[in-house]
């Protein structure tokens, strides 16, 4: 804002000049700009002209902020309206004004429907061209229909700069096509789909749930924390509540606000997933659509998350069609001529597995989703949760236990719980760790200068020594007591990842025991021409054997032009010499020439 323009505005009224200084004029205009409510004071076709008067709530808000008389507040708007209307602050300037005046919004704005953040639809008119109206002065000229029927509801905004603060979300309605426009999406009255707006960049606010929004920079922070520090959603919420929320604002937050200012784990994951989908659809330049009638935000996001995961498990990774001098060897065809040179290449790819915890049903190879990570069985096998956990017993369990009323089965369950008790573990650890120590101080020679045992009698306790010693009863019943992965509730699956020869990851998928690696490969390379020349895997011997015996001719011949070798380390350490098939193929095969000096 130009200093001369401010001086000219103050010169219009003596009362205004006496009430305002240069800095207070800047604050006056700054209070109007962080909220979009200022932009909606005029219809879209008169947006260049400031309104003659302010709405009552905005007028009262400014009057309290600067402790003005009613008439002086009206004169102030008359003096500053052209200056305020023409001022277009940058995003950084808007943020600076909001941080500077947050206490004023909390003290005088929230009670009048002016939140620290006031979110409005990005469009002032209906997007449907069929809703355009004819001008009375010129019926051949059409004007986009203005949105109306404004609705406001209180929200909580989780921000990175101000913490959790109150705000208002406003929706507007098109009476012609019966579509309501929200800050993040629009939906027809009879529709079941939320259609998100197409932005030139990622939206500033993520509508994480019905009455909660989260800023995009906070979502990005949580994403980096999860990726770089393996921070859980629960710990992200804890860190936010204890370290990012501003303690100096707590006394100014409204006590009767309809939504909480405390972030929980659901807020973190809802925002994280929706933010990730927004990023994904923005990169693909597609329109994001979600179910409007879903019972929860989790169910609303699940179909698109599954679709994205399926795409990323195939050819959806950014590096899927990657090629460089490290993963490809390009050479001149010896049979080509100088007049017609012909270049060939060899592409080599490594597939490996990473063991990760994956909550799943206790029935082996079941791919049904759990209702909750605390469940032992999926909905299809939920009835087994009422069955005795002894594998040879099918009797019903007794409420409060996981075994039936058989006394022997009950004792096994109680013993299983007992080994988790602290004193039980400490006793066993102590016995293991002091195995080389004398039983009493009397066993230490009197001539010893120290009352500690001599160094040659000490025994180092390893990590294995600190584990409880299983008793004979546990050893003999362990296989009968546990269902597969029943106690841990987490099945360790192999998350197969494909890496190029240059260490670039180009695909990843969760591999269950029921899914063969060749299925992952065929999904990753949907055509035979997209296959690499060399596919490395530490278990390629069994892959070749499985492909050779596959009854499906298409699958059997899909990798016929691809070399499937095993690296030297895995061949020596994981492949048995007694495996005749493996040895035969290894001796029959020739060395693969990668075209590099290092092999």
Contact yes or no for 563/534 (Cβ under 8 A):
yes
Contact yes or no for 541/582 (Cβ under 8 A):
yes
Give the C-alpha separation, 6 to 28, whole Å: 11
> pLDDT for 93-143, tens place per residue?
888 888 888 998 999 989 888 889 989 898 888 988 888 887 777 777 788
Count of positions (residues) in the chain: 599
Average pLDDT for 5-12: 69
Residue spans of the domains in the chain: they are 1-114, 119-313, 321-360+490-599, 379-438+454-481
- pTM above threshold 0.75: no
Picking from 142, 132, 171, 153, the residue whose alpha carbon sits closest to that of residue 40 is 171
For residue 136, the model assigns a pLDDT of 72
**60-69, 240-249, 497-506 — which is least confidently predicted?**
497-506
> pLDDT for 301-353, tens place per residue?
999 998 888 888 777 777 777 778 878 888 888 888 888 888 888 888 888 76
Give the C-alpha separation, 176 to 267, whole Å: 35
> pLDDT for 23-35, tens place per residue?
888 888 878 765 5
> pLDDT for 492-548, tens place per residue?
233 445 555 565 555 666 655 445 667 778 888 888 888 888 888 877 887 888 888
Of the pLDDT bands very low, low, confident and very high (cuts 50, 70, 90), residue 13 is: confident
Locate 490 and state its tokens. Answer: 């987490």
Q: Which comes out higher in pLDDT, residue 595 or 230? A: 230
Of the pLDDT bands very low, low, confident and very high (cuts 50, 70, 90), residue 359 is: confident
- Secondary element (H or E) of residue 571: helix 568-574
**279-283, 293-297, 568-572 — which is least confidently predicted?**
568-572
Compute the radius of gyration of the chain from its Cα atoms. 35
Helices within 314-464 (DSSP H only): 407-418, 422-433
Q: Which comes out higher in pLDDT, residue 149 or 42? A: 149
Residue 589 has pLDDT above 50, yes or no: no
Contact yes or no for 72/80 (Cβ under 8 A):
no
> pLDDT for 265-290, tens place per residue?
999 999 999 999 999 999 888 899 99
Of the pLDDT bands very low, low, confident and very high (cuts 50, 70, 90), residue 298 is: confident
Of the pLDDT bands very low, low, confident and very high (cuts 50, 70, 90), residue 491 is: very low
For residue 352, the model assigns a pLDDT of 75
For residue 50, the model assigns a pLDDT of 78
Angle 506-496-288 from CA coordinates, rounded to 5°:
55
Residue 454 has pLDDT above 70, yes or no: no
For residue 354, the model assigns a pLDDT of 66
Give the C-alpha separation, 67 to 73, whole Å: 9
For residue 153, the model assigns a pLDDT of 92
Average pLDDT for 76-83: 81
For residue 426, the model assigns a pLDDT of 64
Q: β-strands 205-209, 212-215: how paired?
A: antiparallel
The single-letter DSSP state of residue 121 is -
Produce one character per residue of 235-268: b if its CB has 16 or more CB atoms within 10 Å, e if not.
ebbbbbbeebbbeebeebbeeeeebebebeebbb
């Amino acid at each position: 804002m130009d200093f001369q323009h401010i001086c000219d505005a103050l010169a219009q009224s003596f009362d205004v000049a006496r009430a305002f200084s240069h800095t207070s004029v800047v604050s006056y205009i700054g209070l109007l700009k962080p909220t979009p409510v200022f932009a909606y004071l005029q219809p879209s076709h008169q947006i260049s002209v400031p309104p003659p008067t302010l709405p009552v709530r905005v007028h009262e808000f400014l009057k309290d902020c600067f402790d003005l008389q009613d008439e002086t507040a009206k004169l102030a708007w008359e003096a500053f309206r052209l200056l305020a209307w023409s001022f277009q602050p940058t995003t950084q300037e808007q943020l600076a004004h909001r941080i500077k005046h947050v206490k004023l919004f909390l003290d005088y704005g929230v009670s009048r429907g002016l939140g620290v953040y006031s979110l409005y639809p990005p469009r002032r008119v209906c997007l449907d061209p069929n809703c355009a109206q004819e001008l009375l002065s010129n019926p051949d000229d059409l004007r986009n229909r203005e949105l109306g029927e404004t609705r406001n509801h209180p929200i909580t905004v989780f921000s990175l700069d101000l913490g959790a603060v109150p705000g208002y979300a406003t929706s507007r309605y098109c009476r012609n096509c019966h579509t309501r426009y929200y800050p993040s999406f629009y939906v027809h009255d009879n529709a079941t789909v939320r259609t998100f707006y197409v932005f030139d960049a990622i939206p500033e606010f993520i509508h994480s749930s019905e009455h909660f929004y989260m800023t995009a920079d906070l979502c990005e922070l949580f994403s980096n924390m999860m990726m770089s520090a393996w921070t859980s959603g629960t710990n992200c919420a804890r860190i936010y509540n204890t370290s990012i929320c501003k303690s100096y604002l707590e006394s100014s937050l409204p006590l009767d606000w309809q939504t909480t200012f405390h972030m929980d784990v659901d807020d973190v994951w809802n925002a994280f997933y929706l933010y990730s989908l927004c990023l994904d659809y923005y990169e693909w330049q597609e329109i994001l659509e979600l179910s409007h009638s879903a019972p929860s935000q989790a169910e609303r996001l699940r179909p698109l998350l599954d679709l994205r995961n399926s795409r990323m498990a195939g050819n959806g990774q950014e590096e899927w069609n990657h090629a460089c001098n490290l993963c490809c060897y390009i050479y001149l065809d010896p049979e080509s001529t100088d007049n017609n040179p012909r270049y060939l290449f060899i592409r080599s790819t490594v597939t490996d597995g990473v063991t990760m915890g994956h909550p799943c049903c206790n029935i082996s190879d079941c791919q049904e989703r759990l209702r909750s990570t605390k469940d032992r069985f999926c909905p299809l096998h939920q009835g087994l949760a009422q069955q005795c956990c002894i594998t040879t017993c099918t009797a019903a369990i007794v409420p409060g236990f996981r075994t039936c009323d058989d006394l022997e089965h009950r004792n096994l369950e109680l013993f299983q719980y007992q080994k988790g008790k602290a004193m039980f573990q400490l006793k066993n650890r102590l016995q293991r760790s002091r195995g080389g120590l004398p039983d009493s101080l009397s066993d230490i020679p009197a001539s010893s200068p120290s009352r500690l045992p001599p160094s040659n009698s000490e025994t180092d306790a390893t990590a294995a020594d600190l584990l409880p010693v299983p008793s004979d009863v546990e050893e003999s019943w362990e296989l009968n007591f546990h269902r597969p992965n029943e106690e841990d509730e987490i099945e360790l699956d192999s998350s197969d990842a494909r890496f190029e020869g240059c260490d670039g990851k180009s695909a990843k998928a969760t591999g269950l025991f029921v899914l063969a690696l060749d299925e992952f490969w065929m999904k990753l390379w949907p055509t035979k021409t997209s296959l690499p020349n060399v596919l490395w895997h530490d278990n390629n011997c069994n892959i070749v054997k499985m492909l050779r015996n596959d009854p499906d001719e298409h699958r059997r011949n899909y990798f016929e032009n691809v070399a499937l070798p095993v690296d030297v380390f895995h061949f020596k350490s994981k492949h048995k010499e007694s495996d005749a098939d493996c040895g035969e193929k290894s001796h029959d095969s020739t060395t693969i020439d990668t075209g590099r000096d290092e092999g």
